[in-house]
Amino acid sequence: MEIEYENPEGKAIRGRQYFSLSYPEARVFGYETEAAKFSSMQPALLSVLSNFTFLDPAQWKVAASRSRAAAPLDLALEQRTLADGSGSLLMPRNWQLLGAKGAFLAKSPDSNLGLAFSTAEFWGPSSLPYFDSSRIPNVIHAPYMAPVDALIALMQRFGSSNIRVVERARDPSRASAAAAALNRRVDAETAILTFTNENGARCRGSYDVLGLSPLPSGQWAIIFFAVWAPEAQLDRYLPSLVKMSSTFQINERWAADYIARGVENLKRQMAKTSRMMADTAQAARESSLAAFQERARSSDYIDYKRTSTIRGEQEWVSQVEGGALYKSDHWGLSREGERVVEGQSFNYYNYQGQNPRYNESMTPVDASREVYERVYGARR
């Protein structure tokens, strides 16, 4: 029988299976590989298959009894408490226990074996005005992604590599329950992963992950529970890991105090937010006023230039005479409103700003807005 399917990594697989029935026994044997390599690999696969030897039933029963000899390991456990007193669990004496506020990481001295219950925070794009979440330092910047994908990104950040998804499944019912409890959209997934840890050891782990959807600020998070062990030994350690997990307890007195502190902190944050909103509103009003005044000054300057052109007038400012104003028009030149020179050489069309009293080239008032505002800023 020819088979085709996709593996958990999304690769197309092709193969063939053969069935042999000899009541009351049935045997199935076959081969498979990536669909794109099937034709080139088929001769080698057939060669390998042809060299298989079926053992006598007595022989494979002996082999099976040997495999059963690798019994689950029963680790010696003792009560351990988180440093802040927020929780406790049973775990081996020589293991390292890290954590606070009800989250924990418990691991063997070589880090190849352990369990964890914790959260991880991510920051995606913000939808709030005037708030750029991408500028927050020392956080993981990433758009929202499925829970297991986020967990893989977190593992890679802390040194794990060659991560492979063995099994993965969504859990809609638990996602709905969590969403109702948290009043927030939640995704839930479970997965079995294999990976190389930061020490280079190949491990296998079981993961239960909740993904909390982004807030308007862009902040989103995952809540995860994990157990892991060396890849070939997870089944042997699993009973002890399950036992340790089941003994974890939150300190109720600590939880009550933590909630009380949280309420007080919330009140402070609300007061701080109120002040920040008031400051922001004041800054917005001041900014609007400044923009209005800037537009008004620009409008005054533009109106002045337009009106002077229409009237055929040009004003000049004398630096030598301490800012005295001269005006040239169709008939001649005036100083501070008094006609000083008449004639074609000093009219609006021909006069170039030479001071009739001193050896000075005067500056046109409309040469720039800066000059205009120095002359008229105090008056208008």
How does pLDDT run across 260-300, given as a tens digit for each residue?
A: 776 676 677 667 766 776 676 676 666 666 666 667 667 77
Report the alpha-carbon distance of residue 274 to residue 236 in Å, rounded. 56
333 falls within a domain? yes
Q: Is the dihedral of CA 354, 358, 359, 364 positive or negative?
A: negative
DSSP H or E segment with residue 222: strand 219-230
Are both 141 and 288 inside the same structural domain?
no
Are both 48 and 87 inside the same structural domain?
no
Are both 121 and 161 inside the same structural domain?
yes
DSSP H or E segment with residue 230: strand 219-230
Q: Contact at 8 Å (CB) between 224 and 245? A: no
Res 335: pLDDT:
83
What dihedral angle (degrees, nearest 10) is formed by the CA atoms of 230, 101, 255, 239?
0
Counting the structural domains of the chain, the total is 4
Are both 25 and 160 inside the same structural domain?
no
Average pLDDT over residues 50-61: 58
Give me 108's structure tokens.
């063997």
Are both 121 and 242 inside the same structural domain?
yes
Q: Which range, of 12-21, 106-115, 239-248, 276-285, averages the lowest pLDDT?
A: 276-285
Are both 191 and 280 inside the same structural domain?
no
57 falls within a domain? yes
Res 380: pLDDT:
41
357 falls within a domain? yes
Q: Which range, of 139-153, 211-225, 242-256, averages the lowest pLDDT?
A: 242-256
For residue 125, is pLDDT > 90? yes
Are both 275 and 361 inside the same structural domain?
no
Are both 228 and 279 inside the same structural domain?
no
pTM above 0.75, yes or no: no
Of the pLDDT bands very low, low, confident and very high (cuts 50, 70, 90), residue 93 is: very high
Of the pLDDT bands very low, low, confident and very high (cuts 50, 70, 90), residue 379 is: very low
73 falls within a domain? no
Say which CATH number the domain at 174 has. 3.40.1000
Per-residue pLDDT tens over the stretch 295-334: 766 777 777 777 777 777 888 888 888 888 888 888 888 8
Are both 223 and 356 inside the same structural domain?
no
Report the alpha-carbon distance of residue 135 to residue 123 in Å, rounded. 10
Q: How many CA atoms lie within 13 A of 100 on its CB side?
A: 3
The mean predicted confidence, pLDDT, of the chain is: 82
Domain hosting 271: range is 259-301
Are both 50 and 88 inside the same structural domain?
no
Total length of the chain = 380
